Structure 1
């Protein structure tokens, strides 16, 4: 039985709370079920790794919780947050600009190895 979940945020609008809340919630739930969970940001979604961006996106107009709150909850539950290396090309990020929950950059070889593994399931958004 697979023990790892990889969630890829590739086509997700980084300013859409509707498009972001479900995958981040799923990551929190999977980590709470003791699965190894990685969320990989690429393309426009990589912008969410910059400090202040996810903090400015509220889940609902009348709610104070933000996308960054989901990221912090996921991190506390064991979710690891990565950027796929091509995602850095689209929105240049410097280390000092990144959220503290950022776990690192993954390259194509790691990405392909994980998604081809029978131990991993992949969800893309």
Structure 2
């Protein structure tokens, strides 16, 4: 049975915060269930790993809960967050600008490797 869950946020657009709640909540739940969880942010979601971006977006308007709150919750349960290096370059974001919950940078080969790994299940949003 696979023990790793990789969630790739690539098509979820921070301009529509409702798209971000479910995958981040699923990351928290899977990590709380003792699965090895990693969330890779790329595409439109890549800038969420930049300090201040996720904290400025409420998941549901008026709720007071931000995308960053969901990231911190998942991270607190053990989920690792990773940023796509090429994507950060496209958005002119430096490694020094990343949130503390971001464990590092990965590239396309890493994502392909995860998708092909028999011990990993991959969800994309």
1:92 is aligned to 2:92: yes
Q: Deviations over 1:44-84 (max 9, x none)?
A: 21111111111111122221111000000111111001112
TM-score of the two chains, using structure 2 as the length reference: 0.94
Whether the 8 Å CA contact 2:31–2:74 is kept in 1: the answer is yes
User: 1:52 is matched with which residue?
Assistant: 52
**Partner Cα distance (1:50, 1:107) in 2:** 17
Q: Which moved more, 1:59-68 or 1:18-27?
A: 59-68
User: 2:21 is matched with which residue?
Assistant: 21
Whether the 8 Å CA contact 1:43–1:86 is kept in 2: the answer is no
Give the C-alpha shift of residue 112 in structure 1: 1.7
Q: Is there any run of 5+ residues in structure 1 with no aligned partner, and where?
A: none
**Partner Cα distance (1:58, 1:44) in 2:** 17
Alignment length, in residue pairs? 125
Whether the 8 Å CA contact 2:88–2:94 is kept in 1: the answer is no
User: 1:78 is matched with which residue?
Assistant: 78
What RMSD in Å do the two structures reach over aligned CA positions? Answer: 1.1
1:110 is aligned to 2:105: no
**Partner Cα distance (1:119, 1:27) in 2:** 17
TM-score of the two chains, using structure 1 as the length reference: 0.94
User: 1:61 is matched with which residue?
Assistant: 61
Q: Is there any run of 5+ residues in structure 2 with no aligned partner, and where?
A: none
User: 1:124 is matched with which residue?
Assistant: 124
